[in-house]
Amino acid sequence: MEKQRIVLALGGNALGTNLHEQMLAVRSTAAAIADLIEAGHEVVIAHGNGPQVGMITLALEAAGKIEAKTPYIPMSVCVAMSQGYIGYDLQNALREELKNRGIPKPVATIITQTVVDGNDPAFQNPSKPIGAFYTEDEAKEMAIRGYTMKEDAGRGYRRVVPSPKPIDIVEKDTVDALLKAGQVPIAVGGGGIPVRQVAGNRLKGTSAVVDKDFAAAKLAESIEADALIILTAVEKVAIHFGKPDEQWLDRLDSKAAEAYIKSGHFAPGSMLPKVEAALEFVTSGPNRRALITMLDKAKEGIQGKTGTTIVP
Ligand code: ADP
Ligand code: MG
């Protein structure tokens, strides 16, 4: 297999939902990533941050109740904190795994900013779930306190924030330079820190969360990657998902995907952004391939043996 430049987007199951789970999860995650690096590919790791940014916001909310002087910490700063915390665990685990295999490649986390448009319609319609799941009654109480609450794919209620589309990745050249130098960067964690271009050269953080799948696709496009691999909790994308006539897909082209999206086959907030991000990447330039599969199937997936391949 030819050496490829791959953007690997890790889902929630690659990181776990709390400190202990994350420390354990990153070990098997590191092994799966190391397989791709050992096979000779250039790999940049992107990841989600749902539970982690949820933990950070909950901790700050709790602190605010005890100590009135607790400063208000905007969502952009919470995302930055989550990149540092997740990056630390991931880079540490991957460094160890690579060293154990005799691959002395440096691994580093890049605090990454994602530029969004202040006029993005998402700011009028907060949709991205953050933090814990709540019951309907708890959700009603939180809504009274000013949070926007929405039901999430049958799993309960969650707080939601705006999720604007990424228009540029500020540190893309740094990612490119590290890859060219044979290093392993971790970037656009949690979709990147959402920033808006304000006066002159200034970038300003904004209270939003960029979808990690879209941010990974934008990064992949910006650094001219060959492949975007989205690793999640299912081996393949399905139509009629969870129904008796469920059908797992090996291949999905833009035309079929558009039709399935229209008929509502992919759940918003979970599979829909993955399919849309994959489509955006594969149609952004020639010879670009996207794959949606499970973490422990990544190696087989890149060899074309499993997963759902998205083509233009
Ligand atoms: P991640 O943390 O990896 O982003 P999500 O929970 O957001 O994971 O999205 C992946 C989930 O989407 C799968 O585990 C599955 O339960 C759900 N899903 C919704 N629609 C589909 C579909 N059509 N095919 C496969 N999985 C789907
Ligand atoms: Mg998700």
- Convert 21-89 into a string of H (helix), E (strand) and C (coil): HHHHHHHHHHHHHHHHHHCCCEEEEEECCHHHHHHHHHHHHHHHHHCCCCCCCCHHHHHHHHHHHHHHH
Amino acid at 208: A
- The predicted structure's pLDDT at residue 219: 98
Region 187-199: mean pLDDT is 97
Amino acid at 11: G
CA 252, CA 73: separation in Å to the nearest integer?
Answer: 41
- The predicted structure's pLDDT at residue 138: 85
More confident position, 104 or 143: 104
Backbone angles phi, psi at 288, to 5 degrees: -110, 135
Per-residue pLDDT band at 154 (split at 50, 70, 90): confident
Strand 184-186 to strand 107-109: parallel, antiparallel, or no bridges (unpaired)?
parallel
Cα separations in angstroms, 249 against 11, 70, 210, 256:
19, 49, 27, 11
Catalytic annotation, pick one of 13, 190, 192, 307: 13
Amino acid at 43: V
Under DSSP, the state recorded for 45 is: E
Beta bridge partners of 252: 310
Identify whether 212 is a catalytic site residue.
yes
pLDDT score of 235 more than 80: yes
Sign of CA dihedral 278, 279, 280, 286: positive
Q: What's the mean pLDDT when you consider all of the chain?
A: 93
Cβ-proximal residues to 262 (8 Å cutoff; 6+ apart), any chain: none
- The predicted structure's pLDDT at residue 1: 59
Q: Are 105 and 40 in contact (CB under 8 A)?
A: no
Residue among 311, 276, 273 nearest 290 (CA)? 311
- The predicted structure's pLDDT at residue 280: 97
- The predicted structure's pLDDT at residue 190: 97
Classified as helix, coil or strand, 226 is: coil
pLDDT score of 153 more than 90: no
pLDDT score of 181 more than 70: yes
E strand map for the chain: 5-10, 42-47, 107-109, 113-115, 128-134, 149-151, 157-161, 168-169, 184-186, 193-197, 203-205, 227-232, 237-239, 247-249, 251-253, 289-294, 308-311
Q: Are 169 and 218 in contact (CB under 8 A)?
A: yes
Using alpha carbons only, how large is the chain's radius of gyration in Å? 19
CA 297, CA 45: separation in Å to the nearest integer?
Answer: 16
Most confidently modeled range among 45-54, 67-76, 178-187: 178-187
pLDDT score of 127 more than 80: yes
Sign of CA dihedral 147, 165, 188, 4: positive
| Angle formed by the axes of helices 212-222 and 271-282, nearest 10° | 10
- The predicted structure's pLDDT at residue 58: 84
Q: Which atom belonging to ligand 1 lies closest to the Cα atom of 213? A: 4
CA 145, CA 173: separation in Å to the nearest integer?
Answer: 42
pLDDT score of 27 more than 70: yes
More confident position, 59 or 100: 100
Ligand 1 close to Cβ of residue 47 (< 6 A): no
CA 261, CA 264: separation in Å to the nearest integer?
Answer: 5
Identify whether 204 is a catalytic site residue.
no
Identify whether 128 is a catalytic site residue.
yes
Per-residue pLDDT tens for 267-299?
Answer: 988 999 999 999 999 999 999 999 999 999 999
pLDDT score of 140 more than 80: yes
pLDDT score of 44 more than 80: yes
- The predicted structure's pLDDT at residue 72: 75
Ligand 1 close to Cβ of residue 95 (< 6 A): no
Tokens of 64: 């605010």
- The predicted structure's pLDDT at residue 87: 98
CA 15, CA 19: separation in Å to the nearest integer?
Answer: 9
Per-residue pLDDT band at 242 (split at 50, 70, 90): very high
Identify whether 180 is a catalytic site residue.
no
Per-residue pLDDT tens for 73-122?
Answer: 888 999 999 999 999 999 999 999 999 999 999 999 999 999 999 999 99
Ligand 1 close to Cβ of residue 308 (< 6 A): no
| Lowest mean pLDDT across 31-35, 40-44, 53-57, 276-280 | 53-57
Tokens of 289: 């391939």
Nearest residue (CA) to ligand 1, atom 11: 270
Region 182-202: mean pLDDT is 97
Backbone angles phi, psi at 121, to 5 degrees: -60, -20
